[in-house]
Amino acid sequence: MPKKPTPDDLRNLLAPRTEPCISLFLPLPRHGAELAMAPVRFRNLVRQAEALLAERYDARRIRELIAPLGGLAEAVDVFTPGPEGLAAFRADGVLETYRLWPPPPERAVVADSFHVKPLLRSLQDRNRYHVLALGSRRVALFDGSERGLVPRVLPGLPAPLEPSAASGGRGGGGRASRGGPGKVPAEGEGGRREETLRVFRAADGALREALPGATPILLAGSGSVLPAFRDVCTHPAVFPEGVEGAVDDVGIDELHERVLPTALRALEARNARLVEDFRKAQDRGLASDVLTTVAEAAVAGRVRRLVVAGGKTLFGRVDRETGEVTLHAGQSGPQDDDVLDDLAETVLARGGEVFVLDATKMPHEAAAVAIYRW
């Protein structure tokens, strides 16, 4: 059964392999007749890979490599509803399948290494965000994307103080503070404000421990709760714009609909910072958007950060010693790979970081840009 890829899976796929390496990618509908046709489309990809292999390898070698892939088309657990992308990788001693989001373009690639750019895009979380819902009766964390929200268990995330406990138990389970549900009480209300801030500090600490990355975190809650949390919040990924409105009795679909416009602005701001970092480095002579220059710097170990265009493929070869780039109109045989994919592998192998950005957001409409170490 296909699994969600992890950074360890990526490192395993990037390990040196005996060629050829086969990479198959198939976008999957969520349901319906189109999903039922997915096995047929996957078989077509297998046939494409077989045709590419036939240009260089004998029939016995091809059968050994192709047979396990053909078997996947018959497996009932491969094309189930789920994340809308399937990836399959095959080489000597390797057969791995993954479900990806965002869905990759439909493609078969045969080369001397695996085509990993769709996995990079899936792993880098540039289309994902987190939501911290701050209510009077719950504090909850969700992982989010354009498709929806998924609850996430966060160790150390505290429960809000029950209103009855905050008021000293009066009123038999009574009401929240007089400001209404989600309101942060004023000083002097039996220490409830200080207790609320204590809960928020604990939530902030749990966020910093479990979410150390730069994936945007959106705050959702009533108009007075959000400023109170920001007073104690120290996590740098919390987005400045909050989503106002009580969250205690809101369903997950409604919460997603409420936060999505703000989430898209947060993701766009994150991408804009990536582009701005490149432009600042370019002004200092520490960046380039010229493909041949980027390739030479990559093999020399000079690239600190590489950004490649998602959805764009440049078939050809990158000389692993000199960085010389040869481009072809299409994949001319199993010796060809996506040049952008080869550059990503090269930079990762030398300790750099790689991001995949929508082609329409790339600086100067470049296929790849790089920020240098020196």
- pLDDT above 60 for 163: no
Span 46-100, pLDDT tens digits: 999 999 999 999 999 999 999 999 999 888 889 887 667 999 999 999 999 999 9
Of the pLDDT bands very low, low, confident and very high (cuts 50, 70, 90), residue 8 is very high
Beta bridge partners, 152, equal 141
Beta strands in 135-288 (DSSP E): 139-145, 148-152, 217-221, 243-244, 287-288
pLDDT band at 333 (very low <50, low <70, confident <90, very high): low
Residue 160 — very low, low, confident or very high, per pLDDT cuts 50/70/90? low
For residue 147, how many C-alpha atoms fall within 13 Å in the half-sphere facing its CB?
Answer: 12
| pLDDT for residue 330 | 75
Q: Which of 207, 232, 202, 209 minimizes the C-alpha distance to 218?
A: 207
Tell me 363's DSSP state.
G
Residue range 129-269 forms a domain whose CATH class is alpha beta
13-27, 136-150, 261-275: least confident range: 136-150
More confident of the two residues 222 and 167: 222
Single-letter amino acid, residue 116: V
Query: Which residues of the chain does CATH 3.30.1330.30 include?
Result: 285-372
The region of weakest confidence among 31-40, 145-154, 202-211 is 31-40
Is the pLDDT at 331 greater than 90, yes or no?
no
pLDDT in tens, 344-361: 999 999 999 999 999 999
Answer yes or no: is pLDDT of 132 > 90. Answer: yes
Distance CA 160, CA 257 (A): 24
What digits encode the pLDDT tens for the residues 169-197? 433 333 333 333 344 444 445 467 788 88
Distance separating alpha carbons of residues 316 and 329, to the nearest angstrom: 8
Global pTM reads 0.79
Residue 146 and residue 129: Cα distance in Å, rounded? 9
Beta bridge partners of 111: 21
For residue range 227-272, list pLDDT tens digits in order: 999 999 999 999 999 999 999 999 999 999 999 999 999 999 999 9
In degrees, rounded to 5, the angle at the alpha carbon of residue 212 between the alpha carbons of residues 209 and 218 is 95
Query: Where are the domain boundaries for CATH 3.30.960.10 in the chain?
Result: 7-123
Instruction: Considering only CA atoms, give the Rg of the chain.
Output: 25
What are the backbone angles phi and psi of residue 260, rounded to the nearest 5°?
A: -60, -45
| Residue 159, pLDDT score | 66
Confidence of residue 165 (pLDDT cuts 50, 70, 90): very low
Topology classification of domain 285-372: 60s Ribosomal Protein L30; Chain: A; (3.30.1330)
Residues of the chain with CATH 3.30.420: 129-269
The CATH code belonging to domain 7-123 is 3.30.960.10
